[in-house]
Structure 1
Amino acid sequence: MVLSGYFYMIQNMKNMKNLKLLQKIRKNKYYPFSFFSTHINFDTIEKLESEGEEFLFKNLLFLFEKYNKNSADKNMLMNAFILAKQVHKTQKRESGAAFVTHPLIVALLAISYKPCANFLTATILHDVIEDYKMEGSIDGRAYISDKIKTEFGEVVYNLIEGVSKVQSIKNGKNFSKQSIKKEIDKKTIEKIFQHSSCDFRILLIKLFDRLHNIITISGKKDPEKRRKKIEEAITIYVASAKRLGLWNVKILLENACFRALHSEYGGGVEKKGGALENPKIINTIKKIVKNSKVSVEKNSEMNSEQHTSYILIETDNEDSCYTVFSQLNKAFYLKKDSFSDYISRPKLNKYKALHANYIINNSEIIEIHIVSSEMKKRNIFGVFVDIQNSDFSLPSLSSSSLNILHTESEQVLHNIKKILLTPQLTIQS
């Protein structure tokens, strides 16, 4: 009884602390924003570090409350914020900003996908296990791991442990300091993919973590470290985002890498609108497909020769996609060998759409993608659709979802070996 009373007192103190934190956060006006766009201003994200952790957490909490009103979940995020501030209080990023701003911005990058409290809590604390230090002979990593398990549960702990850097390697005394670091980096990537085969939220946290690191990579002084991080992002994490169907994350990561490699271009790729700059063409298509939504989207592929726009037509259902395709064929000339049916044969990341190029005005070519509302959601949110549908209650999800990750893991093995000069890795489920 005494022990239970003690824990009750501790919990009550935490709730009071959170209440004071919430009151402090709500004193000022909210500045809500969303990162759910492929046209993020990277310079703005870099400047966010200077806004301070209170400002960042205020925005995170505001956006979280838009889709989750559960007070226990909100309390979990506030406890995570308090712990992150404690662990990172003396740390600085190479830019000079307080280190705790980094995990908060990473969480903000993910918030548009409406992840649950466990995911966001792990994101806020994703560097805590490897950064926690204790004086004396006590094992700091073991202590903070137990603390996380007790306060936030096994699920959150497993997510954080999954992205945490490997602490040491076997026979480390036989290697030079540089070789040990390279071996640890290699083992860490291997560990992330091994753990992700059981719960791919680990890889999702790492993707958003790497996205922010690449956006702010100009603060890293060592040019060789910058080059390595960028190369690793392109060959491993861009490919992973694509395979998991996180199209916006893939494009943002590509553009961030392009900006870092070619800063003279201002961080973006110039998109040529071509025929789509003519409003008459858009209006003509809208008249043809009266009951469908028509919009112009940017088709950003880092490795393509041209960066063009395309027209996205959104219908009510799958059958309507083929009806719209038939209507367009009657109005325009379909370019030879340009039609791709990803509805009957979806891509490995479950992407579905009809793609077709049409010749208009005798010479100009327009690219059109036709999707249903449900397909559009899947194409944008990727595996987050599976996560939302299952409410995180079954992290392993369906075998088909895991097959996506397993396939990607097999494909990126060559890239991992190329960057880190590792022997062949075995990804276990």
Structure 2
Amino acid sequence: MLRQYELVERVKEYDPDADEAMLNRAYVYTVQKHGTQTRASGDPYFSHPVEVAGLMTDLRLDQETIATALLHDTVEDTLATIEDIELNFGSKVARLVDGVTKLSKIEQMPENERAAENLRKFLLAMSEDIRVLLVKLGDRLHNMRTLHFIKSPEKRRRIARETMDIYAPLAERVGMYEYMREMQLLAFEQLEPEGYATITNRLEQLREGDGGQVDAIALAIKQALAEAGLQVEVSGREKHPFSIWHKMSERHVSFEQVSDIMAFRVITDDEADCYRALGVLHTTWQFLPGKFKDYISTPKTNGYRSLHTSLMYENSMRVEVQIRTREMHRLNEFGLAAHWAYKQGDRPDGQVGWLRDLIEIVDASHDAEELLEHTRLAIYQDRIFAFTPKGALFQLPIGATPVDFAFAVHTDLGAQTVGAKINGRHMPLRTPLANGDVVEIVKGKDAEPQLSWLSYVVTGKARAAIRRAVRQKERAEVAEIGQKLFGVIADRVPAKIGKKAIRHALERLEMEEEDDLYYAIGAAKITDREVMEALVPGCTEELPEQPEWSKSELSIRGLTAGVGYELGTCCHPVPGDRIVGTRRPGEKVEVHTIDCHALASGIDNDWIDLSWSKRAAGAIGRLRVTLYDRPGTLAETTAIFAQNHANVRALAQIQNDPPFGSYEMDLEVQDVAHLNRILSALRASDSIVGAERI
């Protein structure tokens, strides 16, 4: 662990004007606050923030970042507050510590409870000041280095998976390849211990038996370039073990079939020498077509610049060569951290624009699972380049379509897309884009995102925007249904309902807008009785609790007294259906229709012959209804339900394939004859393409 004076000396070496007193205060503060706390390794807890601060000095970061690294766990793990930090170290450090703390809090929550709002705030803080992310990456790297001290294998795997899915890709996206590679290696060891052991053993065998082959190839490359008048540095290394594993898994090949295990790096004086060196290598050895990539003229999103090529060396050996200048190499290995260290007054906003997209994705995501899916998609690294007709360049994941491209240009353009031209030719919207394609989006004034697009878009931004638009459309349609039903409900109260009564009803129901009320009615989130009572308090006291035909609960013959039951959600039996029950020891009886497909999987269960004892409410029939996708069709459908005295319990759109839309609807019905009457009425409507019971 770094001692106090050693840490300060490190900072003073590259920043002689650093505030030595503040750094000393931060070191002492973290030691005092963490006190006797210990880590899983048995070391004092304060050793962790000190080591993270040391990692930040390796990146030559400024004094605020070093202080943040020292203090980053004090608010989360001690009695210190953000106000204390601001009082002692200033507002800049306090803001940075707060940003790091937000993500630490999210990490400790169960995955399904991680609040999108907290993540949005973290991403916003990160995009405003990338040092928040740099400290967090240093924090995660040191935690991964000490992960083996944690006794619980399950906890180690969870942390390793989170590192592989989120932090390693984030490190890649800001160009910190050294951090990315080490995180991947340490996570790989926990997630695939057998694969890790196998590959590291094979690499060790190669090292023992290669007879200095790596050094020999590096020398041959250097000599070939020297004969052409180029003074360069050449180094060789084995591919990263996780990189080899990933290639084996992706291509379904064995270790022996991974031909480019060795990689070489050529460092030149200037950019022109990079291209001269490339020409020399391609004329000295055969290069492999399709393996050349020019990241100098077209850098990666994170600013990475280099030439990549693969050569066929002697004895049919394939080797990968990367060619770059010294400045490129410095920026490539430590990315935005290196940029920050040398240009502190010129924040590299252009290189973190993708963070803005992540914030937009968070805003559009519906739940935690959807959010995680979109953010993973947004930070994965395999990219292609496509151009607008005016020459603007956009980077997209491999497999991206014109719809992804449209949303990448602007969310409004994506929403209005009706067609696309690729290299001047009209092409289907589901066409995967290739590197260098020129894409022209054809838009329509009244167009809107289609649910079917989700089957082929690949970017998180596009998927989030489409899902948000579809949800808004579904909500509007359900609210339209609710507005029609509201009119029927309002006619049943003993007063004329005006705007004032509705406003008071919204207050009683704790709703803000009329649309909220209509949606709640249409989605069956509120009962008719509750709406009536909100409109005219006390008006329901004389009303019967339920219609005459539904005064009693569902009753079934054939059950032993006191035995509970539940209606199968697979077949939704209603009175009038021929029913049977299945029972497992200690569980409720499941009631199914005699022809339910689920019975085929329950042969080992006890079967009970059942029948309905009386007609009663509470039975739910599920229908699949396909409508013409035009205004008024849903309203006509709900009018049919109202005319047949059926209560809508749930409604969801399951497919939108213009000019049709399909819905699943749960109705509270009297019996099977009642349900069949509703089906007949639906099928007779000109607005309805088809209706069937599920």
TM-score range, shorter chain: 0.7 to 0.9
Query: In 2, distance between residues paired with 1:366 and 1:423?
Result: 35
- Residues 23-422 of structure 1 mapped to structure 2, 5 A cutoff: 55-70=2-17, 72-133=18-79, 144-165=81-102, 183=113, 189-262=119-192, 269=200, 271=203, 277-290=213-226, 291-300=231-240, 301=243, 303-305=246-248, 306=258, 308-391=261-344, 393=345, 397-406=347-356, 417-418=368-369
- Structure 2 distance, partners of 1:166, 1:383, is 20
Computing the radius of gyration from Cα coordinates, the structure with the larger value is 2
Deviations 1:61-85 (A, max 9, x none): 3422321223x52221110011101
Name the amino acid aligned to 1:250. Answer: M
CA contact 2:233–2:267 (8 Å) conserved in 1:
yes
- 1:83 and 1:348 map into 2 onto residues whose CA distance is 38
Q: Aligned partners of 2:180, 2:374: CA distance in 1, in Å? A: 27
CA displacement at 1:188 relative to structure 2: 5.0
Q: How far is 1:287 from its partner? A: 1.6
Deviations 1:34-62 (A, max 9, x none): xxxxxxxxxxxxxx5xxxxxx44444234
Q: 5+ unaligned residues in a row in structure 2: which ranges?
A: 249-257, 376-459, 465-694
- TM-score normalised by L of structure 2: 0.46
Q: Contact 1:166 / 1:187 at 8 angstroms: preserved in 2?
A: no
Q: How does 1:11-22 map to 2 (within 5 A)?
A: none
More divergent stretch after superposition (316-325 vs 304-313) = 304-313
Structure 1: how far apart are the matches of 2:198 and 2:117?
32
CA distance in 1, matches of 2:87, 2:131: 21
> Aligned partner of 1:282: which letter?
A
> Deviation at 1:124?
0.4
Q: Separation in 2 of the partners of 1:188 and 1:117?
A: 27
- CA drift of 1:299 comes to 3.1
Give the direction of change, closer, same or farther, for the CA distance of 1:180–1:374 in structure 2 (3 Å limit).
closer
Deviations 1:339-386 (A, max 9, x none): 111111111111111111111224111211111122111111200233
Distance 1:99 1:239, change over 3 A: same
Q: Distance in 2 between matches of 1:122 and 1:107?
A: 8
Q: Distance in 1 between the 2:198 and 2:97 partners?
A: 31
Question: Hey, what does 2:514 align to over in structure 1?
Answer: none
Superposed CA RMSD = 3.5
Alpha-carbon distance between aligned partners in 1 of 2:360 and 2:224, rounded to the nearest angstrom = 44
- Given that 2:8 and 2:20 are in contact with CA atoms closer than 8 Å, whether structure 1 keeps it comes out as yes
Task: Give the conservation status (yes or no) of the 8 Å contact 1:166–1:184.
Answer: no
Q: Distance in 2 between matches of 1:418 and 1:57?
A: 44
Q: Distance in 1 between matches of 2:153 and 2:313?
A: 48
- The question of whether the paired residues in 1 share the 8 Å contact of 2:53 and 2:70 is answered with yes
Q: Answer whether contact 1:310 1:368 (CA < 8 A) is retained.
A: yes
Higher strand proportion? 2
1:285 aligned partner, one-letter code = I
* 212-221 vs 242-251, greater mean Cα deviation: 212-221
Contact kept, 8 Å, 2:274 with 2:307, in 1: the verdict is yes
Q: Aligned to 1:98, what secondary structure does the other structure show?
A: coil
Q: Report the secondary structure of 1:92's partner residue.
A: coil
Counterpart CA distance in 1 for 2:372 and 2:274 is 47
Deviation at 1:209, TM superposition (A): 0.7
2:113 is aligned with what amino acid?
E
The DSSP-based 3-state class of the residue aligned with 2:319 is: strand
2:266 maps to amino acid: I
Structure 1 distance, partners of 2:214, 2:14, is 38
Cα distance change of structure 1 residues 345 and 77 upon mapping to structure 2, 3 Å threshold: same
Deviates more, 1:100-109 or 1:267-276: 267-276
Q: Distance in 2 between the 1:345 and 1:85 partners?
A: 47
Question: Relative to total residues, which structure has the larger helix share, 1 or 2?
Answer: 1
Which amino acid is 2:222 matched to?
A: K
Q: 1:60 to 1:188 in 2, by over 3 A?
A: farther
Pair 335,327 (structure 1): closer, same or farther in 2 beyond 3 Å: same
The answer on whether the counterparts of 1:168 and 1:184 sit within 8 Å (CA) in structure 2 is no
Aligned-partner SS, 2:14? coil
Cα pair 2:56 2:65 within 8 Å, conserved: no
> d(CA) in 2 for partners of 1:85 and 1:268?
41
Code of the residue aligned with 2:234 in structure 1: it is V
Q: Contact conserved, 1:297 with 1:311, CA < 8 A, in 2?
A: yes
Structure 1 segments unaligned to the other structure (5+ residues): 1-47, 49-54, 134-140, 170-177
User: What letter corresponds to residue 236 of structure 2 in structure 1?
Assistant: V
**Structure 1 CA distance for aligned equivalents of residues 214 and 138 of structure 2:** 36
Alpha-carbon distance between aligned partners in 1 of 2:334 and 2:374, rounded to the nearest angstrom: 34
Cα deviations across residues 396-423 of structure 1 (Å, max 9, x unaligned)?
Answer: x243122143456779999x94599799
Aligned AA (2:217): I
Change (3 A) 1:184 1:332: closer
> Residues 192 and 203 of structure 1 are in contact (CA less than 8 Å); yes or no, is this contact kept in structure 2?
no
Report the CA distance shift for 1:244/1:373 in structure 2 as closer, same or farther (over 3 A).
Answer: same
d(CA) in 1 for partners of 2:151 and 2:116? Answer: 22
Question: Whose relative contact order is higher, 1 or 2, with alpha carbons under 8 Å and at least 6 apart?
Answer: 1
What SS does the aligned partner of 1:359 have?
Answer: strand
SS in 2 for 1:149: helix
Measured against aligned partners, the alpha-carbon deviations of 1:122-155 in whole angstroms (never above 9, x if no partner) come to: 000001112232xxxxxxx5xx322221221111
Q: What secondary structure sits across from 1:367 in the alignment?
A: strand
Contact kept? 1:104, 1:124, Cα under 8 Å: yes
Residue 32 of structure 1 corresponds to: none
Cα distance in 1, alignment partners of residues 219 and 271 from structure 2: 23
Name the stretch that deviates more: 352-361 or 416-425.
Answer: 416-425
Name the CA shift for 1:314/1:159 in 2 (closer, same or farther; >3 Å): same
